[in-house]
Each structure stands twice: as C-alpha cells, then as structure tokens.
Chain A
C-alpha cells in the first residue's frame, strides 16, 4: 500500500477546496442558512412535524445533511472532471497509486468537505437556535457514511463524465431533487401513501431521517434501518467506483 501517496492525494484534494473556501464552504453554508431563515419564518407558526420540536429546529439537521451530501458529491466529481479537462489527471495516472488508494483519497476528501460544511452550518445555526445533539456517535456515523456515499458517487460521475454539463446535469436533475424530496422540510408521513413509498426508495431519505434522529431521538423510520440502508448504498457505490477505477474506464484510454 502506498500510504504516503494516498495521504498526499488526500491532502491535495482537501487543500484544493480550502483554497476556494468561500465557494466550497461559505456559499453552501449561506444557502442552507437562507433556507432556514426563509422556511422558518414562513412556516414556523403553521407546521409542527415532530412533537415538542419547533419547525425551525426541525429543519436544521435536514439542511445540514442536505448540504453535506451535495458538497461531498461536488467535491469528488468536480475535482476529477476538472483534472480531466485541464489534463492534469495524467500526473495521477503516472503515479504508483492503486484503485483503492485513489478511491480512499477522493472519498476521504469528500467526507472532510461534507463534514466541514455541516460543521459550519451547525455552529452558525447553534448561535441563533437552541439545538443540541442527542447521540453524537449517530451524528458522526451518518455524517461520515452519507458523505462517503456521495463522495463515491461523485467519483464515479467525475470519471465517467466528459463535459461539465454532464456533471452539472447530474447535480441539478438527480442530486438536487432527490435531496429536496428526502424529508428535509417535512416528515414523509405528511405525504400521501404513494409519495411515502416513493420517498422510501430515495437513499437520501434514510440519511436525513437517521441524522435527524441523532439530534431529536425522533424519526420517521428506525435509525438502525436508516444506517443499514446507508451502509448498503455505501457498499454498492464503493464497489462500483472501485471497479471503474481498477479497469481505468474513461481514464486509461
């Protein structure tokens, strides 16, 4: 195992997004906080989703998770696509790094970005809203593995895409709608039965719901079931992205 090589690529990926932290950390935090302010102001007195929890507080975990998964995806997909577009991917392909090392470096960097975005939103929200964490371990498990799922997905999309529009399209037409329809703003039990069933095949629902449980000890489905589904998606996407990297598809050609 080329551990130092893996560490170098991981550090490079982290530095890459920290260099443009206004765009990679600041902007998503602002977006999430705007959602919080606008939705909370508009709905606070009209909606109660979980007993004993104000709508404003209810929104926070979902918005954190939504931002984490969107940014974890953006990190690996944009990095790979950019290095393919500017040709600098060749430096990585010439290096003695295996598929698993490439995978670990990109996915770990995506987790760090997701985690940092989540932290920023939580800290800023915490300054204005009284929101505590009931189960820190669950928070960490959901944050890490949900970011990892999206990091692996971003890796695959970044490898397979040949144009910026393809990644943007995936982000706008798949990631964004799925994250909005994952119960960030509502409980799925407020939906008609058909849409409840549809929500339950959305992987992001389990990420948001399990993450919310970590804060309030209340959720739409059991947190164990949510974590299990997150593990299943993590395993599937990791296996697929490792397969693509190992065979050099769209990279070593």
Chain B
C-alpha cells in the first residue's frame, strides 16, 4: 500500500486549470520532494490531499483511505504543516497542542507525546506562552508540533523553511530527517532546491498543474549530463586549442569555464590539450549538475 496515491486529479478554478490530470504514487517511508515554481499547483495538490480543497475530479487516498469518502481515516494518517504561519491568538502553545490533539479524539493519554514534541522542538519553556507572543520561528515550530500531535504516518511540509533563519532551518532539517528515519513518510515542498537535493529520495516537479518529472534524485540529476570545469591558468593564451573552442562556456581574465558532456568530453582531454598548448594550469574546479539546473530546464 502506498502512502499517497493520486489518480487523474483535476482542479479547476475560474479561468485556471490548477491541476491537470495529476497521477502520483508516493510509497511509504519515502522522503518525497514536490518542486515547482510559484503557482505551479503544489499547494493546491497538498490542499486536495488534506481535504482543504475539493478536487474537480479524480481520486486521492492517504494510506489507502479516500480523502473524501473516508476522510476521517485519511486525516488521522496525515499531518500538514501549512505554508503560512497561522495561529489562534487566544491560546497558549500547550493549549493549542492539546486542542489539536482533542480534535483527533486524543485526550490525556496523548499528553506524554505532546510533552515529547515540545521538548524535541525546544518549545517546553514556551508551553504557557500565548501564541501571539512567540517569534516567527517559534510559531513555525508550533505548527510542526500541531501537525505531528496525532502521530500521523504521512507528514506534509509546505515550504517549512521559507523565511526562517539558518539555525531554525538546520533544526527543521534534523528533525524531519529523524522523523523519516523513524518510518514517517515525508512530503516536502520547497523553493530551496538544495534543501530538496539534501533531503529527498524521490522528487516530482510540477509545472502549470502537471507533473513534468517524477524520478529519484539521481535520476533527475542524470537528466543533465553536463558538468562545468573551471580552469585558472597563469596567463591567458592568445589562442585556445581548436578542440576546446566549442566547449568553452565562459572566460573571465585567466578563468576558463568549459561545459563538458559527462561521457563525450573527459576532463583529462581538456587538461591535456591545455598543457599541450603550453598553458600553465594553476587551479581547477568541477561543478556537478545541480537540481536547480534540471529544474530550470524542465520548468522554463
């Protein structure tokens, strides 16, 4: 059984086809990245999954439960950290968590887990603080605790690190990695491609409401067979060896950057050609393909 299963999903808004025939299966235990430019349909997809938005047509299930027909079971298995920092100003952190736990039918028996969550997210000292008095980063931690309060098998994080400082981002990365190791399925949408590259095993790229790529991280990276070789030389030659001219991507003073095909253009050949032309090599830097370059190719 997959953690999330999406079949022929369509969502129309007036004048916008926000999701266009989306088919996606996310296996259990996956750290899944959902990438796409602004307005691509990521949040709409998550909203349909969570029951926050009704699909125009198609089916979505979470842990085998249909999100419309079996919404109670589906929601019991799903935790969502919303993109925006939202909170109820009337209540304290501890009260918010107990209320959220209660909505899921969990009473006193869940208090130990709430305390554990508060401790893990460094919120214990803020338990009796009203939500409005917390910093933005602290509020975001509470959102994560709220999403986990009913111990869902699947956790969706909708751009959790947008606008947070480096320290909090690091804590969130560590925390989500730990949850993944404990067996949770994590679905992450993010604008930070290095974040997806560092954390996710499987990645789907959405553009204009359609899934334009669904692959493992390695598979996606392999879609860009080029790497960049920057060579710093002691003195720029008057004329570059003829064989290297088509490979030259950029030149700045004594820095030459070559775009090399992983299979057809061995680095050794470039270095040999430069030495043969009497060029003294001072430094080298190899830039491997990034998710960003693949992302840009697929979404431009």
A residues contacting B by CB (< 8 A) are 2-5, 7-9, 11-12, 15-16, 19-20, 83, 86-88, 90-98, 248, 252-253
Contacts and interface: CB of A to CB of B under 8 A. Distances in A.
Nearest to A88: B88
A98 B50 CA distance: 14
Contacts of B51: 93-94, 252
Nearest to A83: B88
Nearest to B77: A96
User: Could you say which of A2, A5, A96 has the most chain B C-beta atoms within 10 Å of its C-beta?
Assistant: A96
Interface stretch (B96-104, B163-171, B181-189, B230-238): B96-104
A168 B8 CA distance: 43
Contacts of B50: 93-94
Given A94-B51, A248-B54, A253-B54, A87 B102 contact: no
Nearest to A248: B54
A86 B87 contact: yes
B82 interface: yes
Given A9-B103, A95-B104, A96-B75, A90 B82 contact: yes
A91 B89 contact: no
A2 B84 CA distance: 28
B140 to A, nearest CB: 13
B86 A87 contact: yes
Nearest to B101: A8
A9 B98 CA distance: 11
Given A93-B51, A96-B104, 12 more contacts: A4-B102, A5-B103, A9-B102, A86-B88, A87-B84, A87-B86, A87-B87, A94-B51, A94-B78, A95-B75, A95-B103, A253-B53
Given A16-B90, A86-B89, A88-B87, A5 B52 contact: no
24 contacts: A3-B105, A4-B107, A9-B103, A11-B102, A12-B102, A19-B90, A86-B86, A86-B87, A88-B86, A88-B87, A90-B80, A91-B88, A91-B99, A91-B103, A93-B51, A93-B52, A94-B50, A94-B51, A94-B80, A95-B100, A95-B103, A96-B72, A252-B51, A252-B52
Nearest to A16: B90
B99 A8 contact: yes
Nearest to A91: B100
Per DSSP, chain B at the interface is loop
A9 B103 CA distance: 7
Interface string B215-239: 0000000000000000000000000
A170 B76 CA distance: 37
B298 interface: no
A79 to B, nearest CB: 10
A80 to B, nearest CB: 12
Interface in B49-89: 50-54, 71-73, 75-76, 78, 80, 82, 84, 86-89
B146 interface: yes
A96 B75 CA distance: 6
B106 interface: yes
A88 B90 CA distance: 11
A77 B154 CA distance: 33
B113 to A, nearest CB: 16
A15 B95 CA distance: 11
Nearest to A7: B102
Contacts of A20: 90
A96 B82 contact: no
A91 B99 CA distance: 10
A97 B89 contact: no
Contacts of A83: 88
A91 B102 contact: no
B147 to A, nearest CB: 8
A4 to B, nearest CB: 5
A90 B80 CA distance: 10
B89 A94 contact: no
Interface in B155-204: none
Contact of A8 (B53, B54, B84, B102): B102
Contacts of B107: 4
Interface string B87-125: 111110000000110111111000000000000000000
A10 B75 CA distance: 20
A2 B100 CA distance: 13
Contacts of A88: 86-88
Nearest to B48: A252
B90 A96 contact: no
User: Could you say which of A19, A90, A92 has the most chain B C-beta atoms within 10 Å of its C-beta?
Assistant: A90
B76 A96 contact: yes
A222 B137 CA distance: 61
B88 A5 contact: no
B52 A94 contact: yes
A52 to B, nearest CB: 47
Given A5-B102, A88-B86, A90-B86, A96 B52 contact: no
B53 A5 contact: no
A57 to B, nearest CB: 38
A92 B82 CA distance: 13
